[in-house]
């Protein structure tokens, strides 16, 4: 994917000209006005679904987490805007573009905006193409049980990412999507990285442990959640028996982000 840059006053935008051929700043401004008019549409962990140029898209505004979010909701320290230190929404845009090139099931990036709010701070947003007819793993489990094959498919998908050293920073039941065809996808790659090949592999187990904790948390919150220990064993079976990567993925040079 060949992306372009757009700079206008305090806005710096990366965008995919195939999906957003013109006026990327105007689109972000319209979405910003919608967010301001109905702030509950976008809070931490939520996204806004919309259609632009007949293409279903997803808008995410970056929010801080943890205790610091009580003081600073969505403002970050301004980077040098060098290739070595891009703003975090540009990092996620570029990472998604690379993962798409490798054939991994992630959303297609449309545009990423960094809005300078002062000489030292910025806010940001990301627009991706919507994965159609997909629901989060958490939503699916609140409605019905998954088959053993679906759990194994999730494990195989995670294994594909790990085989290419992709570490998801927040692998949980809300960042795994399942579509109507039974295919699984990963979303929300903020602060995610591609690990060096020679680095210790303990982060892979940490990824899996994080996902398992989120599933157990769902069950603790709602005893009606359709998740049992046997389901996790099916996921591990898929993870451990995932087949070889396609030749295209093996042939693409890896790099760290």
Residue 115 within any structural domain of the chain = yes
Active site residues: 170
DSSP 71-115: T-SS-EE----BTTB--HHHHHHHHHHHHHHTT-S-PPEEEEEEE
- When pLDDT is cut at 50, 70 and 90, the band that residue 26 belongs to is confident
Nearest to 125 by CA among 2, 12, 41: 12
- Specify the pLDDT at position 253: 41
**pLDDT of residue 248 exceeding 50:** no
For the chain, the distance separating the N- and C-terminal CA atoms, rounded to the nearest angstrom, is 17
Q: Which of 120-124, 224-228, 251-255 has the highest mean pLDDT?
A: 224-228
Instruction: Please indicate, yes or no, whether residues 192 and 247 belong to a single structural domain of this protein.
Output: yes
**Entry pTM:** 0.86
| Burial group, residue 201, by CB count within 10 angstroms (0-12, 13-18, 19+) | exposed
Instruction: Please indicate, yes or no, whether residues 152 and 117 belong to a single structural domain of this protein.
Output: no
- When pLDDT is cut at 50, 70 and 90, the band that residue 219 belongs to is very high
- Specify the pLDDT at position 69: 46
Under 8 Å between Cβ of 186 and 161: yes
**pLDDT of residue 90 exceeding 60:** yes
Residue 257 within any structural domain of the chain = no
Residue 38 within any structural domain of the chain = yes
Instruction: Please indicate, yes or no, whether residues 9 and 120 belong to a single structural domain of this protein.
Output: yes
CA geometry: angle at 12 spanning 10 and 17, to 5°?
Answer: 140
When divided into structural domains, the chain yields a total of 2
Instruction: Please indicate, yes or no, whether residues 47 and 20 belong to a single structural domain of this protein.
Output: yes
- Specify the pLDDT at position 79: 62
* Helix 202-221 with 148-163: angle, nearest 10 deg: 150
Instruction: Please indicate, yes or no, whether residues 119 and 96 belong to a single structural domain of this protein.
Output: yes
Residue 256 within any structural domain of the chain = no
Q: Tell me the H-state helices in 115-225.
A: 137-143, 148-163, 202-221
- For the segment 100-129, the average pLDDT, to the nearest whole number, is 91
Nearest to 213 by CA among 157, 159, 174, 160: 174
* Structural domain span for residue 217: 134-251
Picking from 29-38, 55-64, 190-199, 241-250, which range would have the lowest pLDDT averaged per residue? 241-250
Instruction: Please indicate, yes or no, whether residues 86 and 183 belong to a single structural domain of this protein.
Output: no
Structure tokens at 241: 């028996």
Instruction: Please indicate, yes or no, whether residues 27 and 120 belong to a single structural domain of this protein.
Output: yes
Q: How big is the chain, counted in residues?
A: 257
Instruction: Please indicate, yes or no, whether residues 143 and 245 belong to a single structural domain of this protein.
Output: yes
Nearest to 195 by CA among 166, 170, 168, 171: 166
- For the segment 114-136, the average pLDDT, to the nearest whole number, is 89
Instruction: Please indicate, yes or no, whether residues 54 and 93 belong to a single structural domain of this protein.
Output: yes
């Amino acid at each position: 994917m060949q992306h372009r840059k757009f700079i206008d006053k305090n806005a710096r935008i990366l965008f995919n000209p195939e999906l957003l051929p013109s006026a990327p700043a105007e689109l972000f401004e319209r979405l910003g006005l919608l967010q301001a008019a109905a702030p509950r549409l976008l809070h931490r962990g939520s996204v806004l679904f919309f259609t632009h140029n007949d293409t279903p898209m997803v808008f995410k505004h970056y929010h801080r987490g943890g205790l610091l979010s009580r003081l600073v909701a969505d403002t970050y320290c301004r980077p040098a805007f060098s290739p070595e230190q891009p703003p975090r929404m540009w990092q996620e845009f570029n990472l998604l573009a690379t993962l798409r090139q490798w054939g991994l099931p992630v959303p297609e990036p449309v545009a990423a905006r960094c809005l300078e709010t002062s000489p030292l701070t910025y806010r940001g947003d990301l627009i991706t193409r919507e994965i159609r007819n997909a629901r989060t793993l958490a939503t699916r489990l609140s409605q019905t049980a998954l088959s053993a094959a679906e759990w194994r498919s999730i494990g195989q998908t995670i294994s594909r990412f790990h085989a290419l050293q992709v570490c998801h920073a927040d692998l949980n039941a809300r960042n795994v999507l399942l579509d109507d065809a039974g295919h699984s996808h990963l979303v929300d790659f903020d602060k995610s990285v591609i690990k060096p090949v020679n680095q210790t592999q303990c982060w892979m187990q940490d990824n899996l442990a994080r996902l398992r904790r989120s599933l157990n948390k769902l069950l603790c919150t709602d005893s009606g959640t359709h998740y049992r220990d046997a389901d996790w064993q099916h996921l591990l079976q898929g993870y451990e028996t995932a087949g070889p990567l396609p030749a295209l993925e093996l042939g693409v040079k890896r790099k760290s982000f």
